[in-house]
Amino acid sequence: MKFLKSFEGPIYSLARIVVGFLFLQHGAQKLFGVLGGAGGSGEPAALFSLMGLAGVIEFFAGLLIMLGWFTVYAAFVASGLMAVAYFMAHAPQGFWPILNGGELAAFYAWIFLFFAAKGPGTWSLDRLFGRK
């Protein structure tokens, strides 16, 4: 659709903002015990654990991606985290992501890899401060 081409920059930036916001909520669950808490327990994860480390990365990488600040680095780290999460927690449960519960981890891994490759986009702090 040719008419959407003129909106490519803002649409990409909005996608980055929304995905970053959704991702940081997973970190907030683990770090602060909000939004249902870690694993639905209503409690935060132990900070010095794999779940705690994941929470730190999810929250801060999600925030950086949402703001478009150090986007490439944050998205690359987040992509790696989600790939590790998929292969550690979901792949052993079976091949198909929809059946092993790993479709969200797989989606995040690929969308963050795309963000890392494409960069921050039009509406970003990276662009505002002249970072490429």
pLDDT in tens, 66-91: 999 999 999 999 999 999 999 999 99
| 83-117 residue pLDDT tens | 999 999 999 999 999 999 999 999 999 999 999 99
Residue count of the chain, please give it: 132
Domain residue limits at 19: 13-123
Domain membership flag for residue 49: yes
The model carries a pTM of 0.93
Average pLDDT over residues 50-65: 97
Domain membership flag for residue 130: no
State how far the Cα of 100 lies from the Cα of 86, in Å rounded to an integer: 9
Domain membership flag for residue 28: yes
Domain membership flag for residue 110: yes
In the chain, the number of structural domains is: 1
| 13-51 residue pLDDT tens | 999 999 999 999 999 999 999 999 988 888 899 889 999
What does the CA dihedral 73, 87, 106, 58 come to, rounded to 10 degrees? -40
Domain membership flag for residue 6: no
